[in-house]
Structure 1
């Protein structure tokens, strides 16, 4: 076994510069995941295709993002987190440039797969690098800033997509990544330190099984309600392969792709469970709320997105303050309080829609959810990483990010099923129930 001692930034300013470098790449991932949601018509016109084909532009990206996440987290442990982040950023940059020149819908979907793989390489390294670079006393503040950046990027994606498609072309959604990606590479080389490298073999059989399992679960959940029995068959295969994968991981011990001793760390295991449910309700509440504004009050898609903007804006303003407060506050209590506030906000959404109030009233519960979100994401990430041993930081980051992706797929499938047989109020009530389940799960952290 060969190890190299991790290099830490010499001064605090270097740590924050490293966070800025990572933020630039992560913002591109989030913007590209959401920006195309408002340019569907432009894509259909420009590439002369139908709406189902255009939906695969986003689905292909999200699948390629979620499926290799476990493997990519472990690659950071094996080859170095900065090295894998730079590789992922380079792949993402080149794929973005090519996406902008895509001549057909088939080419665009294929290139989005490559782009999603680059995003998967980058994402688990981000949490790992933050964990390694920031000591515990300042990690909460760093994660608070990170939560603020995430909120701003989530809001900026649809707005940027709409503006670029109006004044130029949907292709600029991708081309804008090129100069940003180059700056991100330069900043990463300058400010982000290297990390421990362990010379151990990658669990290739586990990597293959995990990819099949995650694909089966995520694709099956995405497609439930359509395509007949195929999604259910895919879900069943994914569940069976997942069981085989976990059995194999138990036999491989610490050489496994997902060492099961991760789940003996109570703070990590409980945080990951909360993360699944959080990913589900966050995904489940947006679509029924915007659907209500458009169907019942004739609001445009851009206007409907604007009504939910307070969530991102309030979260972006409060998250850094919450992060700084983690030096003196128990993150477990903040996480539970944040989930409780989010549940209240979702309940207000249900009340607004059930009463048939004007669409502008949606901004009130949106702001309440923003307050709760600011109190939720930073503490949950801090708890997930607080007790991880250094050699499992990459694996833990991969697992934690994968749980959110699986939860998001579950939330999307659940809300689609409810909307097919019910109303936006019913779908939002389901989101509120899932949020309450996340609140109940957070109490396991309070007992740890």
Structure 2
């Protein structure tokens, strides 16, 4: 029997004792994260009703979706730095307070500026809350418990998307679309009361805040989205589309220069020279762009072209959200067997096949037998791509670089949704703004989605490095 020495050597670092209420804290933190993910998809089903009640045109309707994910993704890295500088618990509570107040503002909206302003504030709150919440999960658990806790965290993603589409339909057809935002308020207030008594105070680490970098990358992406949306109204060659698009290129260039000169850059641009990070970010950008585009396009198509209610639309999209999670599970199993190149290529090819039937629908087509199975098939492939993207970026680089890579990939995850919705909104403009029976725009948008997925499938084998990645053990944002 081994005897324990009375005094451990001075150089041995003992792990801090586990917090006795860590699992309760995890449950509360996951509820907070669940709200953030819910608000990515819950609004899509309500879009046609919101457009009628507030008199929103296609451009405003697009910003209702993109404003949230733009600020969420653009400011996420800054939120992570704030969690280090101010303490994770303090940053989480600040983000939760902003998100809750913004949800109330969004529900009370009477016009486009008020609603879009509320969505921007929701995105800012989410950017503060999410990285701080993940930091708390990571530091509260150790060893095997940490793997279990991160598994719970990762499962929130698929569940939140699935519940979001169904809840959006139930609330929109029930008490009305404002309740897709009001539902966050009592939950947020309850969490604000409970979290300070459950979650321990966090250690604050001195950190420089790259506020110029955060504002520049968000402004650059915002300018890109504005140009893409304007092209649907005025054409790709118009000044109102070209100037914002060129402005985004200029702003991205200034962002790169600022990051190179900064002592503590928001994004280490050297990470974007690493092939695994580039491959993972590209796959994440395309997969998220496609998935969020499906929710946006499908919701408008089902309610305008097929006359579906918000609830029936939510029911159609429930299997789509579920098959995304199923695809992620299958992808995680296949990665070790066939490798990331085959997983990414196969997943994107399946997504491309799923985009073809929606491109051919007519007003008399049965959505239950065409749109539902097609988009579910596409989502199954994208689920596998999500896992492949994260695992490639984090499992094929040095372990000490995994944190930086994770932040970059998660940023591309959020921003991808904004860019995807902006693109398909412009391509489908004729159907979104035109007569109810017009299918030209939907055909163009879904054809583009098929072409994008096909291009990604053909690119993946050349972009992804050879070899099988290490299991990352880390969570996927959504």
Work out whether 1:280 is the aligned partner of 2:281. Answer: no
Q: How does 1:219-298 map to 2 (within 5 A)?
A: 219-227=226-234, 228-253=238-263, 255-263=264-272, 267-288=276-297
Cα shift at 1:89: 0.9
Normalised by the length of structure 1, the TM-score is 0.78
Q: How does 1:317-332 map to 2 (within 5 A)?
A: 319=328, 330=336
Pick the structure with more helix per residue.
Answer: 1
Secondary structure of the equivalent of 1:359? Answer: coil
In structure 1, the partner of 2:9 is: none
Contact kept? 1:310, 1:370, Cα under 8 Å: no
1:308 to 292, 308, 317: 317
Write the distance in 2 (CA, Å) between the matches of 1:404 and 1:187: 30
Q: How does 1:393-404 map to 2 (within 5 A)?
A: 393=403, 396-404=405-413
Normalised by the length of structure 2, the TM-score is 0.74
Q: Greater shift after overlay, 287-296 or 60-69?
A: 287-296
In structure 1, runs of 5+ residues without a counterpart are none
Cα shift at 1:403: 1.5
The structure with the larger Rg is: 2
Q: Deviations over 1:323-365 (max 9, x none)?
A: 6x69xx6499368526513522430441575487742233333
Cα shift at 1:236: 1.2
Contact kept? 1:283, 1:411, Cα under 8 Å: yes
Cα shift at 1:315: 3.6
Work out whether 1:381 is the aligned partner of 2:390. Answer: yes
Cα shift at 1:92: 0.7
Write the distance in 1 (CA, Å) between the matches of 2:132 and 2:276: 20
| Count of residues in Structure 1 that have an aligned counterpart in Structure 2 | 437
Secondary structure of the equivalent of 1:198? Answer: coil
Cα shift at 1:87: 1.2
Write the distance in 2 (CA, Å) between the matches of 1:96 and 1:149: 20
Change in 2 beyond 3 A, CA 1:370/1:127: farther
Write the distance in 1 (CA, Å) between the matches of 2:402 and 2:283: 20
Q: Greater shift after overlay, 227-236 or 57-66?
A: 57-66
In structure 1, the partner of 2:420 is: 411
In structure 2, runs of 5+ residues without a counterpart are 1-12, 431-439, 470-478
Change in 2 beyond 3 A, CA 1:290/1:397: same
1:199 to 179, 193, 206: 206
Write the distance in 2 (CA, Å) between the matches of 1:103 and 1:290: 22
Write the distance in 2 (CA, Å) between the matches of 1:442 and 1:375: 17
Secondary structure of the equivalent of 2:167? Answer: helix
Cα shift at 1:258: 1.5
In structure 2, the partner of 1:97 is: 104
Q: Greater shift after overlay, 375-384 or 172-181?
A: 375-384
Write the distance in 1 (CA, Å) between the matches of 2:23 and 2:393: 21
Write the distance in 1 (CA, Å) between the matches of 2:310 and 2:241: 29
In structure 2, the partner of 1:170 is: 177
Secondary structure of the equivalent of 2:464? Answer: helix
RCO greater where, 1 or 2, for CA within 8 Å and sep 6 or more? Answer: 1
Cα shift at 1:189: 4.0
Write the distance in 2 (CA, Å) between the matches of 1:434 and 1:16: 44
Change in 2 beyond 3 A, CA 1:93/1:313: same
Write the distance in 1 (CA, Å) between the matches of 2:244 and 2:135: 31
Cα shift at 1:244: 2.0
Change in 2 beyond 3 A, CA 1:20/1:438: farther
Q: Greater shift after overlay, 164-173 or 332-341?
A: 332-341
Contact kept? 2:329, 2:384, Cα under 8 Å: no
Cα shift at 1:177: 0.9
Write the distance in 1 (CA, Å) between the matches of 2:273 and 2:136: 22
Contact kept? 1:220, 1:234, Cα under 8 Å: yes
Cα shift at 1:55: 5.1
Contact kept? 1:289, 1:428, Cα under 8 Å: no
Q: Deviations over 1:252-278 (max 9, x none)?
A: 35x112223434655444322322222
Q: Greater shift after overlay, 176-185 or 235-244?
A: 176-185
